[in-house]
């Protein structure tokens, strides 16, 4: 039963990603990307990481709101432009990367079963890891995030002053 | 049938490849950023599957996903900045009262 759900979610995720890549209208592209993220979160739940799927959906839900705002704003000018001139090499490279990666993964990685909702840490263990064990690396990441915010504000201030 | 980590890796590889196609072939910057989001999806899937298949490291997998989510949040800040920048340049200095419709 879990295998059937996995295959349905995997097919839907890849299909939604494909539709997101080829669709010309930016708003529909954002909707397909949202669907892809939804199915990837479902795959995370199948792998037993429900909390991560929740956090992922929460963050990306907010992000897709921003994206849809931008997509609606860019809608008129973006439908006039689709793919650029290098789309044929891009397709060839994509097919090559896909075949190479799948071949490499089947040959190189040992197939181990993914436990469904088992052997996963509780929220207490996860919180201890975030705020105690991995506090320094995550703190560095948050500094990067603050620097991104500061850069965005700086660029906007320069734009306003010019 | 048992679902293994390789199944997740293959789905992640397909998502990654589609994201690479979007980065290389699309013209608009918003399209490229959405393709980067596809690559983030692939990375999250690989982290979860790779660390979950060995039960001892499931916690590390979730930590890595949080790191990926932080970088994705930075990408959303970038995207918001692109939207605000275009609004400021095209809509009379970005005054909210002058924006009546959601189109360029």
pTM (predicted TM-score): 0.81
Chain A touched by B99 (CB under 8 Å): no
Tell me if B77 and A102 make a contact (CB, 8 A cut-off). no
* 3-state secondary structure labels for all residues of A71-112: HHHHHHHHCCCCECCCHHHHHHHHHHHHHHHHHHHHHHCCCC
Average pLDDT over residues B60-83: 76
Q: What mean pLDDT value characterizes chain A?
A: 79
Tell me the chain B residues in contact with residue A83 when contact means C-beta distances shorter than 8 Å.
Answer: 25-27
Q: What are phi and psi of A47, to 5 degrees?
A: -75, 0
CB pairs under 8 A between A and B: 263
Q: Which of B5, B32, B34 to mutate to test the interface with A (most CBs of A within 10 A)?
A: B34
DSSP assignment string, B14-69: HHHHHHHHHHHHB-SHHHHHHHHHHHHHHHHHHHHHHHHSSGGGHHHHHHHHHHHH
Chain A residues closer than 8 Å to B71 by CB:
141, 144
pLDDT tens sequence across B40-59? 889 888 888 887 777 666 67
Distance from C-alpha of A70 to C-alpha of B29, rounded to nearest angstrom: 11
Q: What is the pLDDT of residues A14-50, one digit of tens each?
A: 999 988 888 877 778 888 888 888 898 888 888 877 7
Distance CA B77, CA A115 (A): 35
Query: B38 to chain A: which residues are within 8 Å by CB?
Result: 17, 20-21, 33, 36
How large is the average pLDDT for residues A96-106? 86
Task: Give the ipTM.
Answer: 0.80
Burial zone of A75 (CB within 10 Å; 0-12 exposed, 13-18 middle, 19+ buried): middle
pLDDT digits (tens, 9 = 90+) for B2-46: 888 888 889 999 999 999 988 888 777 777 888 888 898 898 888
């Amino acid at each position: 039963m879990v295998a059937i759900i996995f295959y349905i979610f995997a097919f839907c995720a890849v299909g939604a990603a494909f539709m997101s890549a080829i669709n010309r209208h930016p708003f529909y592209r954002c909707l397909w990307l949202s669907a892809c993220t939804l199915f990837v979160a479902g795959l995370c739940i199948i792998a037993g990481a429900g909390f991560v799927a929740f956090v992922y959906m929460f963050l990306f839900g907010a992000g897709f709101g921003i994206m849809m705002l931008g997509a609606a704003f860019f809608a008129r000018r973006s439908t006039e432009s689709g793919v650029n001139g290098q789309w044929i090499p891009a397709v060839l490279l994509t097919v090559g990367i896909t075949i190479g990666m799948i071949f490499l993964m089947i040959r190189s990685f040992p197939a181990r079963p993914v436990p469904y909702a088992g052997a996963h840490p509780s929220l207490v263990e996860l919180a201890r890891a975030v705020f105690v064990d991995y506090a320094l690396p995550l703190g560095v990441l948050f500094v990067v995030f603050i620097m991104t915010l500061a850069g965005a504000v700086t660029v906007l201030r320069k734009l306003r002053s010019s | 049938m048992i679902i293994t980590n390789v199944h997740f890796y293959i789905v992640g590889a397909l998502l990654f490849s589609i994201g690479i196609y979007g980065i290389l072939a699309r013209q608009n910057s918003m399209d490229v950023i959405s393709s980067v989001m596809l690559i983030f999806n692939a990375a999250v899937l690989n982290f979860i599957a790779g660390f979950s298949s060995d039960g001892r490291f499931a916690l590390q997998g979730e930590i890595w996903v949080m790191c990926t989510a932080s970088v994705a949040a930075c990408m959303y800040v970038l995207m918001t900045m692109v939207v605000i920048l275009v609004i400021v340049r095209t809509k009379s200095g970005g005054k909210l009262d002058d924006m009546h419709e959601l189109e360029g």
